[in-house]
Structure 1
Amino acid sequence: MKQADYIHLLKIIAVLVLFIFIPALLFYFGIVVPEYCACDKTMYEGQKGVDIWGDIVYCDGESQDVAEAFFQLFTIVLLGCLALLAFIRFLIYRIKKNNK
């Protein structure tokens, strides 16, 4: 394969990763983070919190655990996608630099 083919393949992979990254990022900042931040750790069992959208969030122990698990899961997934995109961009830069 030529270097131009590698660059084209890497750009296709980057677009596919962005196709996953953008909706996951919107879900993360639109739903996961507000629910995670609505209940702090000091709330007593059964108390209700309000997220930034004005929705009521039940702050019982199970809901807090699920919200924390989603927060951690999506944080890792988004950081992995971001690292992959940065690595792909670095590879494209190196291929173009070596081509000159």
Structure 2
Amino acid sequence: MKLYIGKWQLPLSNTNKLVVKGLFVKKQLCYEISSNGCRVKIEIDWSNIIGIRAAMKKNEPGVLEVELSEPPKFYKELGQKDVGAHSQWVDGSDFTRGQASTCRFK
């Protein structure tokens, strides 16, 4: 299984993990990626989603395509001090080599 964003891809493995969250109170879609002990995330405001398509075929990985009117927000995690403590996130850069920042504007 892999995560594709444009031409950028992240193969999922024991060292690369993906969590996708629908944050209903914040009205956001969030992709959290853990890779080699570091965590980054992409937050997409629902108001910026202009198209969404899901495709699933038997015995094949599913596809979720999300089209945006504005670039998403990028964050990186500060080092977590205590087990079970809430993560602290700071503004980050587009770790997808510019692929997630390429969008179609209204």
TM-score normalised to the size of structure 1? 0.25
Question: By percentage of residues, which structure has more helix?
Answer: 1
Structure having the larger proportion of residues in strand: 2
Structure with bigger RCO (C-alpha 8 Å, 6+ apart): 1
